[in-house]
Amino acid sequence: MRTRWSGTLQLLILLVLCVLVESHREILLHSSIVDTRNHRGWRNHSQFLGLDDPRKLLFLIHFDSRVDVEEFRKVSGLALNHYLPWNSYLERMTHLEAHQLEERFPEIQWIGFLESQHKLSPLFQENHPQEIVWLRVWIHESCSTEERDSLLQTLDLEPYEFVDKFRLMVDVKQGSSALKVAHELVEHSCVWFLEPQVRVRLHNAFAKEIILENEETVVDYSRKVGLFTWEHKLQGEGQIVGVADSGLNVDNCYFAQSENLNYLSSFRKFVNNASAEFMTCAQDVALNRKVVQYVMFRDHSDAKGPKAGHGTHVAGSVAGFPINGHESQNFKHSGVASMAKLAFFDLSSSESDDLDLPQRLGENLFSWAYSTGARIHSNSWGTEIGVYNTEAYEVDAFAFEKKDFLPIFSAGNYGGCGSFSTVTSPSIAKNALSIGATLNSFKSWKRFKDDVFVKEFFDSFPNDFSQESVAYFSSQGPALDGRLKPDIMAPGMYIASASSDSGKPSCSNEAAISNLKYFGGTSQAVPLVSGAAALVRQYFMEGFFPSGLRNLNNAFSPSASLIKAILINSAVEMKGVKHTFSETQECSSSRILLSSRPSVMTGAGRLFLHSALYFSDEDSRSRYLHVPSMCSSCQKEYFDTFLGHQRNFFTSFCVFPNPNEEIRITLVWTDPPSSLLSSRDLVNDLDLFVLFNGQNISGNCNFLPLLLLLTCLQHKDHTLTRLITLDQTT
């Protein structure tokens, strides 16, 4: 949102939390909208057999307005752990207990059954090409061991395994038998949700051998355009970045311990629900040059199979740095956070084209990196679907529990035909930073005249081939519930980084080419942003804020929301195009001009970190970083804190910026995981307003009169980010 002002400016900025909307009478389920005004309640349902019926069934409880959760738990005995929009909860109880709730609490407006068809994931309703092999069964936490056992005995299931006490994986045959088992399962009163497990793929579009002639590297390009900054020794020192991918060639020049040492002590055999002590070793973190942890979930190789080299490549873009340092020809291909270290989780075996994820991503994937001190996690993979599924839920759950943990995911490579809502799970998770891909600089394209995409468009539209344009394959939003995705963009086509092909850690100039390879995809954009996120975290942890000078007295560990806000705030408008293109002729080629940000193609825009971080010893008078404090006496408790569950909160503050300068105001928060039953994934709803000369400006809405502003707010995208850009330049 932009406007032009000159002269002295005073802005009143308002932040409002409206967790639950007062007037809604609907319950938003993925399968339907239950209008409580005309939908039959539990007493008028065929499942109602009288108050003396001893069965415990699943009920939807709808309140007339917001409810104080903690207080209502005390007086009612309900768990209220499972929120559904609007103002509703899922509970399991008897008919008599439902009757007593209605009698005691007039604020309960409606009670009805969770019907069997509501329990099935939308993936069962779609004509999806994937074959169903495993079913995920979610069991209500109130079900006893005996009830769970009776569920298994009654259904006489095929092979199964418990993920935990309340989650079950059922092995089913392909086709109609899977649906048959699913429909049997949802009839049980302990089962509240069921979905098929979907395949997980790397988001790599292509790979090519390296060409070093007239090379423009990520480092060169980044310095030139201000994408990242090294001038203040922000190179990732003291930071550890988690990477989960196909494997890592630790002998490559960019990761090797030295030419005479290895990483044997860093390798960890995967164990479910491992303790932090088992996961990592403090000595490895302190002494290892690059790889502080390597979790062998499947194997410890990146050399074979259809995914070979992918993990090594993305790890190199995050933090690769050659053994012989700055003197090597290899140095110019170092990662964004070249002095950071890596905690690596190997998700792949050479036999399969898919990745294998552990069940419970929080406990059995992210926790491994977290145990080493990693707070940024780079993930260049995803499913092939955009539904908010278990993977997205688990990403949100872990990030909500660990407020300093930022998971970064690729948006996907399904945007070639320009279709909307092609961003995949888990990138559509609310607490994930979703990354789309731009094209690279014009200079780089001259080397790729044989590429089919380049052949199609370069001669006719050469000016389109720059970082101002979206890569044709990059998935676009919005998320299926209307949230803005992807969040930001970064270069992702023909990125040169570490190769898994070189088995020996030779860093000689003659061997430079053997250490590198080109890859392209949203996979390649993610590690660039992950490295930048590590630099942002280092910025705060070394006390650059607020003075712009390194001062450890000002150091603090930022939350994931603050890092995410800085990255989004740094993004700039993309003024190029997106070409639709399909090598398999699935759609015709076209040329689409990009709309103003935020947009479903570019999110908040292209990452431009140099525009967000303030340093006092450079010509940065045109920018200043302000993180508003919760209170005037707070030194380090910036507006980077936890607010009580489902409570209203209101705050405001004034800003007096210099005239003729652009102002960017960004609000980001960490949201609880959504219900898998819900069609609306946002739980907490925060609004950002700017008041200026009687005009109201709302985050993610246009600069409009009040009447149109209210219309915009009623139909806003419900994303987790509110972004306002005010351009005062004359």
DSSP secondary-structure letter at 365?
I
User: Looking at residue 225, what is its pLDDT?
Assistant: 54
pLDDT value, residue 3: 34
| Beta-strand runs (E) in 114-190 | 134-139, 160-164, 167-171
The confidence score (pLDDT) of residue 616 equals: 81
Range with the poorest average pLDDT among 291-295, 428-432, 649-653: 649-653
According to CATH, the topology of domain 201-609 is Rossmann fold (3.40.50)
Cα separations in angstroms, 598 against 241, 420, 664, 717: 28, 15, 13, 11
- Mean pLDDT to the nearest integer, 256-284: 81
Instruction: Check residue 19 and give its pLDDT.
Output: 42
Instruction: Read off the pLDDT of residues 45-62 as tens digits, 9 standing for 90 and up.
Output: 777 778 889 999 999 999
The answer to whether residues 579 and 464 touch, using CB atoms and an 8 Å cutoff, is: yes
- Higher pLDDT pick, 154 / 271: 271
Can you give the pLDDT at residue 9?
Answer: 45
Per-residue pLDDT, 291: 94
Confidence of residue 730 (pLDDT cuts 50, 70, 90): very low
| The residue to which tokens 């699913």 are assigned | 182
Q: What is the mean pLDDT of residues 712-724?
A: 55
Query: Of 166-170, 177-181, 432-436, 517-521, which has the strongest mean pLDDT?
Result: 432-436
Query: For residues 160 and 164, what is the distance between their CA atoms, to the nearest angstrom?
Result: 12
Rounded average pLDDT over 34-54: 82
Top pLDDT among 623 and 167 is at 167
Question: What average pLDDT does this structure show over 129-148?
Answer: 85
What digits encode the pLDDT tens for the residues 275-327?
Answer: 888 898 888 888 889 999 999 998 777 767 667 889 999 999 999 988 877 66
- CATH number of 131-196, picked from 3.40.50.150, 3.40.630.30, 3.40.50.2300, 3.30.70.1510: 3.30.70.1510
Does residue 488 contact residue 435 with C-beta atoms inside 8 Å?
Answer: yes
Please name the residue that has the structure tokens 């949802």: 186
Q: What is the mean pLDDT of residues 234-252?
A: 93
pTM above 0.85, yes or no: yes
pLDDT, residue 22, reads 44
- Give me the percent of the chain exceeding a pLDDT of 70: 76
The rounded distance, in Å, linking the Cα atoms of 253 and 220 is: 20
Query: CATH 3.40.50.200 residue ranges in the chain?
Result: 201-609
The confidence score (pLDDT) of residue 332 equals 75
Q: What is the pLDDT of residue 323?
A: 83
Give ranges for CATH 3.30.70.80 in the chain.
32-118
Greatest mean pLDDT among 161-165, 205-209, 341-345, 721-725 lies in 341-345
Over residues 377-396, the mean pLDDT reads: 96
Q: Which CATH superfamily hosts domain 32-118?
A: Peptidase S8 propeptide/proteinase inhibitor I9 (3.30.70.80)
Please state, for a pLDDT cut of 90, what percent of the chain lies above it.
Answer: 43
- Check: CB of residue 191 under 8 Å from CB of residue 143: no
pLDDT greater at residue 122 or residue 460: 122
Quick one: average pLDDT of 238-254?
Answer: 93
**Which tokens hold the place of 395?**
């990403």
Give the chain's mean pLDDT: 82
* Host H or E run for residue 539: helix 522-541
Helix, strand, coil fractions of the chain, as percent rounded to 5? 25, 20, 55
pLDDT at position 153:
78
What confidence score (pLDDT) does residue 444 get?
67
